[in-house]
Amino acid sequence: MAIRLTENRYGKSHVRLMKVERDGARHRVTDLTVDILLYGDFAAAYTEGDNSQVVPTDTMKNTVYVLARRQPIGAPEEFGLRLADHFLTRHAHVSRARIVISANPWQRLGEHAFERAAGRRTALIDRTRDHTSVEAGIADLIVLKTARSAFAGYLRDEYTTLKETRDRLFGTAVKADWTYHGTAHNFDQLWQAVRQTLLDVFAAHDSQGVQHTLHAMGEAVLQQFDAIEEIRLSMPNQHYLLADLSPFGLDNPNEVFVPTSEPFGLIEATLRR
Amino acid sequence: MAIRLTENRYGKSHVRLMKVERDGARHRVTDLTVDILLYGDFAAAYTEGDNSQVVPTDTMKNTVYVLARRQPIGAPEEFGLRLADHFLTRHAHVSRARIVISANPWQRLGEHAFERAAGRRTALIDRTRDHTSVEAGIADLIVLKTARSAFAGYLRDEYTTLKETRDRLFGTAVKADWTYHGTAHNFDQLWQAVRQTLLDVFAAHDSQGVQHTLHAMGEAVLQQFDAIEEIRLSMPNQHYLLADLSPFGLDNPNEVFVPTSEPFGLIEATLRR
Amino acid sequence: MAIRLTENRYGKSHVRLMKVERDGARHRVTDLTVDILLYGDFAAAYTEGDNSQVVPTDTMKNTVYVLARRQPIGAPEEFGLRLADHFLTRHAHVSRARIVISANPWQRLGEHAFERAAGRRTALIDRTRDHTSVEAGIADLIVLKTARSAFAGYLRDEYTTLKETRDRLFGTAVKADWTYHGTAHNFDQLWQAVRQTLLDVFAAHDSQGVQHTLHAMGEAVLQQFDAIEEIRLSMPNQHYLLADLSPFGLDNPNEVFVPTSEPFGLIEATLRR
Amino acid sequence: MAIRLTENRYGKSHVRLMKVERDGARHRVTDLTVDILLYGDFAAAYTEGDNSQVVPTDTMKNTVYVLARRQPIGAPEEFGLRLADHFLTRHAHVSRARIVISANPWQRLGEHAFERAAGRRTALIDRTRDHTSVEAGIADLIVLKTARSAFAGYLRDEYTTLKETRDRLFGTAVKADWTYHGTAHNFDQLWQAVRQTLLDVFAAHDSQGVQHTLHAMGEAVLQQFDAIEEIRLSMPNQHYLLADLSPFGLDNPNEVFVPTSEPFGLIEATLRR
């Protein structure tokens, strides 16, 4: 039976870019890591070693820096849209461009000094000649609640040893990605507002489990932001085990915990309007 | 417009297992990290906080250790099949189990002493009530060739600055995953043979580019192993830049290179018979 | 010539502790990772395999959780002092205890919800029967300034290719450790104030080089805090390379930079009053 | 009280170098990461921002590539000696050079193809105008023994819960550094032989504890290699916990273990002839 090349794609990953924009003494910094993947008519490079249709990944890297220079960089989503547009416009044999951007947050210390904050903002542009998808996201948003978190009433079988609890620590590193309707929004403002909504619901929710809170967080985002048509949430359950102090004649009224990094629960869902 | 929960799944990740099996003084160790994801009728946990159908992820963890004790562990693919089978058999409301296993390789130092080797072996079992998919893979296989590697004849545009070369260093960390026909094979023997084929082709190939060598590696695997129906390869191009010594009055006849970790090229393809 | 055991020490590392303290609905969390090293009369365990004087590292771990339960945890420095004191008091053959603590910062989202912030706070207690040293520190404080940073007038030799600059990006991950006089201070308040001083000087300084700014930061801390007798600073110079856009007919007036992670400069100094 | 700069040093870290040396079609690769620290008369750069005595770290990086080109690279220790010598010879105000080198091991796949192996080789050259110290080392040597490992007879106190065992898994990531007499040895051959000795003793030793085996390993190295005057060993005890299967009606005769990454024991010692 013949062997077929059924899918292929290639690009440049981890192109790092820092852009400084100045309004007099007041500076603004944009710190992005860009991944580019192109799809198209590249089969001959694989099957024949014929590179004549291959845009070198080094050229993709150069393109990032050129486009960053040509105009104000804007939101990560906007920069990604310009990058995707460039490759599709410039090269007729490119059928699809997928741009993933991770932005480091910097907090202002002064006019031209900054401190790196926690977490990351992400953007994904997936563009073909017919369709453009714009996604935004947040990663490494590490949160903890020390009340209003239960886990009980679950299914028990012969391998169940877990104890029910009405009061546990609930810690997670939220990863959220959402898809916008269309391609023109105030992306910076929306991102900040979605982040705040996720935090607010996490903090206030009477959680019956990670699934329950994850759903409430996603639902609130869809309820509040018409611009968003779908949200995907991934929330590891980073367990805090209650330390057993009974061998030492001590009780432990939910005070002393052992954080563990593995294993961890992993809860994921997609919500759509 | 109503909000719908369109997809959900959950499970336990990074369950670490070391099993020691003894044939007299001669020991054998199996060192696995297991991720379990279940799909099924779990919506009420998300929407209502009703956990009555939720198999706790703690129970999943216990199940790994119980199944590891009950019989010889076998190949990672076989252990994954038993795990997937357990969840589908035991719980009628589970519709799909996805088991990802990463195995650390240990080289024998003696009857009961071992040294950890480089790289990882992976397995993925994706099982529903109608279908079982068995994949195996290799990750972190870091290789380098210092001859028989060119990159020339590529497309040039206004952002191209890369120089053509007939003799470059070609370094990559191969990630390969392949899908087997059916579920019964000598998985250990096949895995070793596929690994050797990938290394042999990488070493011998007259490379016109990463795409070219990646294709040759995948093609060789499909040609030699009837049990495999599809292979997916992901090969970052870990660049080695020729050091520019001309400011110091020195040439550099492909001898002194600067390894770089970012940015890197990323080349991916799927081959199928 | 005889072989001698000239130094030995052992302990438990990465003991993770989360303590929740409640003032009604308002909770406070302390998230520490503790490393313990003991020195003393342990030679027979090494030379003879005689463990009779060995306090198991598992016991050290238990001790962390017991001491965390017995009283309010206080500042990391105070908890470290209690731990060191315990081992020296309880075991006559222990001559020295070295406790290293890393604290994760959590920002309050509400009465009992928190978000993990960037950076880490550290403490080191080194105690013998005669002397106690208390050090505090800050790690992973990532900062950037986009003005007031020059590097010029340096020594030139035959291997110098670097261009002088009056206006560069200066980015670093500050690591600072300082030694207190004595063992009784308001450690939490001092730590916050030292952190603020380091940030303020970094932001305002007219930097002639990393060495210059590092010294100004250390000097300001010693000037402002009588409780501190010595400070050690380690500041990697995380380079931002100006992107060369001349092949594309573009200038680059200090706007578009390529952040690099390696190689990096490393500048270190100790200041003492 | 006046503030004094009591110590300072600076340099370039993580300078990555790959050198290819060719004997016809047969190639040899040397893959080093180099850290350089200089000590000397640099105080004015700190206190005054006067850089006139500062050798830029960029120049140090260039020097690595120039020296790598000028002659066969030799052992990491030899390359480090040449680097240290360069800075001391070229700059009268440099009083001390400290060169740390980490070498990645590559196994041969063919005449000019290689696979990266596990572990790292290290070298440290510390040179002043009066004295040169040459150290070699091995890092990330991950080993495991499944028999001949006990831990019993240890000190018990009120916080002891650990059970004695005559048969446990003993896993560690050996870090060893040793100091040579003088500066001229067959460093490559010695390194391979020391590594083999460490592995042989680890595998064969009847271990009463990590301390016991660490000492036996260090002692064997000093006994067998006259060129070595001191060895320092650091061995984390990477715990494997016996899985408790009794809730499921199963025994566990030392077969099923849970590897844990934290906390871990840490055992360290220095042996000298």
CB contact under 8 A, B159 and A35: no
> How far apart are alpha carbons D155 and D158 in whole angstroms?
10
User: CA C214 to CA C234: how far, in whole Å?
Assistant: 8
Q: How far apart are CA A158 and CA B52, in angstroms?
A: 15
What is the SS3 string spanning chain D? CCCEEEEEEEEEEEEEEEEEEEECCEEEEEEEEEEEEEEECCHHHHHCCCCCCCCCHHHHHHHHHHHHHHCCCCCHHHHHHHHHHHHHHHCCCEEEEEEEEEECCEEEEECCEEEECCCEEEEEEEEECCCEEEEEEEEEEEEEECCCECECCCCCCCCCCCCCECCCCEEEEEEEEEEECCCCCCHHHHHHHHHHHHHHHHHHCCECCHHHHHHHHHHHHHHHCCCEEEEEEEEEECCEEECCCHHHCCCCCCCEEEECCCCEEEEEEEEEC
* Chain A hits for D159, Cβ within 8 Å: 248
Q: Report which of A147, A148, A152, A146 is spatially closest to residue A165, judged by C-alpha positions.
A: A152
Give the residue from C8, C31, C228 with the most D CB atoms within 10 Å of its CB, the best one to mutate: C8
- C-contacting chains (≥3 CB pairs under 8 Å): A, B, D
Q: Which of residues 120-149 of B touch A (CB under 8 A)?
A: none
Residue A165 contacts B, CB cutoff 8 Å: no
Helix residue ranges, H only, chain B: 43-47, 57-70, 76-90, 187-204, 210-224
Q: Which of A12, A15, A155 to mutate to test the interface with B (most CBs of B within 10 A)?
A: A155
> H or E segment at A89?
helix A76-90
Residue B1 has pLDDT above 70, yes or no: no
Quick check: is C165 catalytic?
Answer: no
Q: From chain D, pick out residues whose CB is under 8 angstroms from the CB of C208.
A: 45, 49-51
Q: How confident is the model at residue B56 (pLDDT cuts 50, 70, 90)?
A: very high
- Measured between beta carbons, which residues in chain D are less than 8 angstroms from residue C55? 154-155, 157
Query: What fold is seen in the domain D141-272?
Result: Urate Oxidase (3.10.270)
Alpha carbon of D248: minimum distance to chain A alpha carbons (Å): 7
- Neighbouring chains to B with at least 3 Cβ pairs closer than 8 Å: A, C, D
D161 to chain A: which residues are within 8 Å by CB? 247
Query: What chains are in contact with D, requiring at least 3 Cβ pairs below 8 Å?
Result: A, B, C
For the cut 80, the answer to whether the pLDDT of residue D195 exceeds it is yes
Does the pLDDT at position D79 exceed 80? Answer: yes
D29-37 average pLDDT score = 98
Set B12, B61, B185, B205: catalytic member:
B12
Minimum distance, in Å, between the CA of residue C173 and any CA atom of chain A: 9
Q: Judge whether B256 is closer than 8 Å to chain D, CB to CB.
A: yes
Search chain A and give the residue with CA nearest B34.
A263
C239-263 burial: b if 16+ Cβ within 10 Å, else e: bbebbebeebeeebeebbbbbeebb
CB contact under 8 A, C260 and A20: no
D240·B18 Cβ contact <8 A:
yes
Return residues 235-254 of A near D (CB < 8 Å): 247-248
Tokens 């992973």 belong to: C140
**C1, burial (CB in 10 Å: exposed 0-12, middle 13-18, buried 19+):** exposed
Residue D186 has a pLDDT of: 98
Angstroms from B272 CA to nearest CA on chain C: 39
Quote the minimal CA–CA distance from B182 to chain D in Å. 29
* Cβ within 8 Å, pair D159-A248: yes
∠ CA D24-D26-D31, rounded to 5°:
120
Predicted confidence band at B136 (pLDDT cuts at 50, 70, 90)? very high
What chain A residue is nearest to B206 in terms of C-alpha separation?
A49
Residue B123 has pLDDT above 90, yes or no: yes
What is the DSSP code (8-state) at residue A48? T
For B157, which residue in chain C has the nearest alpha carbon?
C248
Contact criterion met (CB < 8 Å) for C255 and A21: yes
Q: How many CB atoms lie within 10 A of CB C206?
A: 12
Report whether pLDDT(A1) > 80.
no
Structure tokens at A162: 């877990």
- Nearest chain B Cα to C248, which residue? B159
Model ipTM? 0.96
Q: What would you report as the CA-atom Rg of chain C, rounded to the nearest whole angstrom?
A: 23
The burial of D204, by beta-carbon neighbours within 10 Å (0-12 exposed, 13-18 middle, 19 or more buried), is given as middle
pLDDT category, A162, cuts 50, 70, 90?
very high
> Could you tell me which of A50, A12, A58, A4 has the C-alpha nearest to residue A33?
A12
Shortest distance, CA B152 to any CA of chain D (angstroms): 21
User: Which of B33, B57, B132, B197 is labelled catalytic?
Assistant: B57
Written in H, E and C, the secondary structure of chain C is: CCCEEEEEEEEEEEEEEEEEEEECCEEEEEEEEEEEEEEECCHHHHHCCCCCCCCCHHHHHHHHHHHHHHCCCCCHHHHHHHHHHHHHHHCCCEEEEEEEEEECCEEECCCCEEEECCCEEEEEEEEECCCEEEEEEEEEEEEEECCCECECCCCCCCCCCCCCECCCCEEEEEEEEEEECCCCCCHHHHHHHHHHHHHHHHHHCCECCHHHHHHHHHHHHHHHCCCEEEEEEEEEECCEEECCCHHHCCCCCCCEEEECCCCEEEEEEEEEC
Q: Which of C56, B17, B66, C44 is nearest to D165 (CA)?
A: C56
Task: Please name every residue paired with B178 in a beta bridge, in sequence order, or none if there are none.
Answer: B136, B231
Rg (CA), chain A: 23
3-state secondary structure C79-92: HHHHHHHHHHHHCC
Give pLDDT, residue C1. 65
Residue of B nearest to D113 (CA): B145
Mean pLDDT value across chain A? 98
Could you count the other beta carbons within 10 Å of the beta carbon of residue D150?
Answer: 18
- For residue range D151-171, what is the model confidence (pLDDT) as tens digits? 999 999 999 999 999 999 999
Choosing from C27, C33, C57, C197, the catalytic residue is C57
Residues 6 or more apart from A139 whose CB is under 8 A from it?
A: A102, A119, A120, A121, A122, A175
D240: closest CA of chain B, how far (Å): 8
d(CA B165, CA B149): 9
Per-residue pLDDT, B165: 96
Which of C:64-123 have CB within 8 Å of D?
A: 66, 90-91
Q: What is the mean pLDDT of chain C?
A: 98
Length of chain A measured in residues: 273
**Residues in chain D closer than 8 A to A247 (CB atoms):** 161
Q: Would C10-130 and C141-272 be classified into the same CATH topology?
A: yes
How many Å apart are CA A115 and CA B69, to the nearest integer? 51
Contact of D175 with D233, CB cutoff 8 Å: yes
Please check the confidence at residue C209 and state whether its pLDDT lies above 80: yes
User: Minimal Cα–Cα distance from A246 to chain D, Å?
Assistant: 11
Return residues 2-41 of A near C (CB < 8 Å). 16-21, 25, 27, 29, 31
B20: nearest CA in chain D?
D255
pLDDT attached to residue D1: 65
Question: What is the chain A residue with the closest CA to B5?
Answer: A271
Q: Where are the beta strands (DSSP E) in chain A?
A: 4-23, 26-40, 94-103, 106-108, 113-116, 120-128, 132-145, 170-180, 228-237, 240-242, 256-259, 264-272
Q: Nearest chain B Cα to C161, which residue?
A: B247
Q: Report the alpha-carbon distance of residue D201 to residue D223 in Å, rounded.
A: 12
Q: Any idea where the domains of chain C sit in the sequence?
A: 10-130, 141-272
Given D57, D132, D183, D197, which residue is catalytic? D57
Q: Do C142 and A202 touch (CB under 8 A)?
A: no
What mean pLDDT comes out for the span C51-60? 98
For domain C10-130, the CATH class is alpha beta
B22-49 pLDDT, tens digit per residue, is 999 999 999 999 999 999 999 999 999 9
CA distance D247 to chain C (A): 24
Cβ atoms C268, C237 nearer than 8 A: no
Per-residue model confidence as pLDDT tens digits over B156-206 = 999 999 999 999 999 999 999 999 999 999 999 999 999 999 999 999 999
- Identify which of B114, A16, B141 has the alpha carbon closest to the alpha carbon of residue C239: A16
Q: What is the mean pLDDT of residues B214-223?
A: 98
Q: A12, B42: Cβ pair inside 8 Å?
A: no
- pLDDT tens for residues A32-64? 999 999 999 999 999 999 999 999 999 999 999
Residue A204 burial by Cβ neighbours in a 10 Å radius (0-12, 13-18, 19+): middle
B265: which 2 tokens? 């090229």
Chain D nearest C-alpha distance from A159 (Å): 7
Is residue C110 very low, low, confident or very high in pLDDT (cuts 50, 70, 90)?
A: very high
B57 annotated active-site: yes
- Chain D residues close to B147, C-beta within 8 Å: 25, 27, 111-112
Question: Pick the catalytic residue: D61, D86, D185, D239?
Answer: D239
State the catalytic residues of A: 12, 57, 239
What integer pLDDT is reported at residue B267 of this predicted model? Answer: 98
CB contact under 8 A, A20 and C203: no
- The pLDDT value recorded for residue B195 is 98
Catalytic one among B61, B185, B205, B239? B239
List the end-to-end C-alpha distance of chain C, in Å, as a whole number. 45
8-state DSSP, A247: G
Mean pLDDT of A7-25: 97
Of D51, D90, D237, which is closest to C154 when you measure between CB atoms?
D51
Q: What percent of chain D has pLDDT over 70?
A: 100
Instruction: Quick: pLDDT tens for C230-260.
Output: 999 999 999 999 999 999 999 999 999 999 9
| Chain position carrying tokens 């499970």 | B11
Closest CA to D51 of D14, D86, D84, D10: D10
Residues B59 and B27: beta-carbon distance below 8 Å: no
Q: Please, are residues C12 and C36 in contact by the beta-carbon 8 Å criterion?
A: yes
Binding partners of A (≥3 Cβ pairs within 8 A): B, C, D
* Pair of tokens at residue C172: 């670093």
Residue D12: alpha-carbon gap to chain centroid: 19
D62 vs C: CB within 8 A: yes
